[in-house]
Structure 1
Amino acid sequence: MGAIFTNIAEIFAKSGWAQIFFTEGGWKYAVMLAVACVLLYLAIVKQFEPLLLLPIGFGMLMTNLPLDGIFHMDIFINSTNHIDWALLGSSGGMVDYIYLGVKLGIYPPLIFLGIGTMTDFEPLIARPSSLLLGAAAQLGIFFTFVGAKILGFTNQEAGAIGIIGGADGPTAIYVTTKLAPHLLGSIAVAAYCYMALVPVIQPPIMKALTTEKERQIVMTAPRRVSKTEKILFPIIVTIIVALTLPDAAILVGCLMMGNLMKESGVVERITKTAGNELMNIITIFLGFSVGCTTNAATFLNIQTVEIIVLGIVAFGVGTAGGVLLGKVMCVVTHGKINPLIGSAGVSAVPMAARVSQKVGQEYNPRNYLLMHAMGPNVAGVIGSAVAAGILINMFG
């Protein structure tokens, strides 16, 4: 009987329960499991960005089960700053191999390809001035970069943190893997959580910066855009961006190729695949593997708190930048532009445009700003990719 109790005690001593409750620092695992459950709650119950928050949250849950060993960070983050292929071959598991798509910068461009097949650039083509609003909303990226530098982050880390302000999860992940891969978990969680909270973060800023009269402005319908314009747009944008800023070429190029596939209408089968099956598979791989990088050792520190604070600053400043330029354009056009659409210049498509629509209708039920706001919104997608290219070019 004593041998049985001894065996039971040995089994318990080697279990994850013992690691949580009876080892130094075990409480960190419990905290991370609680954070993972919060993310899963937001994804399932509140339906905040569920396509990403659910796999990220479950990846966080799995990687913080003590003694799990599901992901080996030392394969990717080490003294050489390169993938340890020998260690990957000897110790790597499924998640390590899936994570290669993140580390090598494969998943974000493929997601951009899928986004391109679902994006309509007609509002931007019809009103090219929307591009300025999309550019103004990237102010949060560079403002936050300065803030991160003040807090003591390196140029590379500050650039990765700043990109949160672009409100574009794949772009944030892409830049972080290039500049500061050790911060990937914290930045990814902050980026997607704040993207999900756009309907909460933006309205108070929009209302504070605009007058009731400005919020009631009804915009005239934009002009019709021809099919030829829709086909030429992705080609021209790709050429201009790739020649001007090669580091942004892969993100913008994949976005525009997906859009060209959609607008040309000649490759319907692969357009559906890119926008559905392929994108869904990549989303699962991306979310789960990124979630697995958020273990207690790398996530629970003062840097994560600073990143979360800087992230909300980035969103707030980006929103404010778009709205303030919208006010300028309202004055220049003698009241033809509703400044609320400037808030949609952040890259959270189409959520930010819907927020513009909702706030506008609160003050004027006849106000239909959605299609007008989609111009700055899709411009923000391009703008965040260009900003990413600038940061990688400067600090990569």
Structure 2
Amino acid sequence: MMAPAVFDLAGMACAAKAVTPAPIWDFIEGGSGRELSVNANRSALDSLAIVPRVLRGVSTPTPACALLGTRAELPVAIAPMAYQRLLHPDGELAVARAAKLAGIPFIVPMLSSIAVETVASSAADLWFQLYWLRDRGLTAELLDRAEAGGCRAIVLTVDVPRMGRRLRDLRNGFSLPHDVHAAHFPLNQAETAQRHTGDSSAVADHTREAFDPSLNWSHIEWLRARTSLPIVLKGLLDQRDALRASESGVDALVVSNHGGRQLDGALPAIDALPAVRAAVGDGCEVFFDSGVRSGLDVLRAIARGAHGVLLGRPALHGLSVAGAEGVLHSLTLLRSEIEDAMVLSGCQDVHDIAELRIVTIPDRTTGREVIT
């Protein structure tokens, strides 16, 4: 049952930590290396202050918008996150059901612990995440399965030529339990992530075997020729890459440093966002990912140029606490926070949010102030 004292997403995170086994908590919360980028994502978002508008007559805000051409009740999609059955037996299906009720898209992870065909029974607005695999035949098969399952976009994650060195997982010798595996892989491949060695991450071992680090722009051309679905590239920070992606005909980009789980010390995604949006203009949609923990963060990202955001760990916190009910509660809290921030900043709709001014407040240690 849902804890009655959970009033915000931070409270949901605390409730989740209390019920989640420590190695699994480390797996979902941890970053790479010294976790500099995990912490920098949060610091960068918290340094951004909204300059609210007044006398705007906003009483009932409208946070709905179009994401990849389809209405979403919030400017939010749920990010692809691996092995969600670690947190609840219903895993990805529970998250998809909550997304359906909240009226937002759910991105089915390629490393899902429930197959896309089963997740599709939720009738949610599904997008499908793809990593580039050494096995091109399996890549093509997954595209076919995503299309047959009713997914309406392909989200190619491009910032994982190899998994970042996640020290929490290494210290824990992390491996998947026997009843959780990558449902989109043949069992003889997926079971690598279940082999406990004691001095490595079995999940990292599996991705090292499966992922193709040679991913390059020619593969985007192959993907474009292979599917008629919209293509989203997730994991860009440099505006030069964003411009090339836009010129290559992709439909959307996700500005992301993988939640601090890949290159430790990478630029916070929120700091990369304005330059990326300026580079691509209206050539494609631009989403923001990495560090979203509140409705205020959603406003910050849209005011900095995003069309929408991907919500990651807070959805898993709700899942761990109470399955689909917990995820829906997290999304309900997020909606309340977004609407509250919209009214208090004088925004009737998402277009008004995009017109807000953002000020980077002084770093209290250096006294440095930047206005954007």
Q: TM-score range by the shorter chain?
A: under 0.3
**Structure holding more helix per residue:** 1
Question: If the length of structure 2 is used for normalisation, what is the TM-score?
Answer: 0.25
Which is strand-richer, 1 or 2?
2
* TM-score (normalised: structure 1): 0.24
